[in-house]
Amino acid sequence: MKKFHFQLSTPLRIKKLREKIEKQKLAEAVIEKDKAENRLVELELTKKSTKKRIEKKLFTSIETRVLLDYDVFADEMISLIDIQKNIINQAREAYEKRRLSFLDHRRERKIYEKIKENKYSDYNKRINREEQKISDELANTNYSRLERDVLK
């Protein structure tokens, strides 16, 4: 009997490869998004801890230099935090694009695999019919042979 051959096996392999590549790109996007979010948390923690240290200094001595340094630092931290928030938004957008692209590629692969399953099911049904036909022919031949032997 003829072995099962799926005619769309090459496109299916390509779909699987593209899905794998998209999955890797998605993982990279997740890593970048996480890094950006972690950096924002670090900046905010740095801002908080520095603010607390400045407040402690203010209780002990009030120097204009300290106030000026804190003002410059606070402005710089706010600027860095705003920049980091923009970076996070860009990373989230990139992640969302990668996620949608990955889902599209996975959907395409699943379509091809479903087609393959259907073709394989049809192949099995055809093989079973052929085997049943051969089995029926053998049974008929044996029955005919037995009838001839009985009639003799």
Residue 33 has pLDDT above 90, yes or no: yes
pTM value is: 0.70
Residue 150 has pLDDT above 80, yes or no: no
pLDDT of residue 118: 94
Kindly report the CA angle at 111 between 13 and 7, in degrees rounded to 5?
50
pLDDT per position as a tens digit, 128-148:
999 999 898 888 888 787 777
The tokens of 149 are what? 């032997």
Confidence of residue 51 (pLDDT cuts 50, 70, 90): confident
Q: Which own/partner pairs from 92-97 qualify as long-range (CB within 8 Å, at least 24 positions apart)?
A: 92/33, 94/29, 94/32, 94/33, 95/26, 95/29, 95/30, 95/32, 95/33, 97/29
Residues 6+ apart with CB under 8 A from 130: 1
- In the chain, domain spans: 24-151
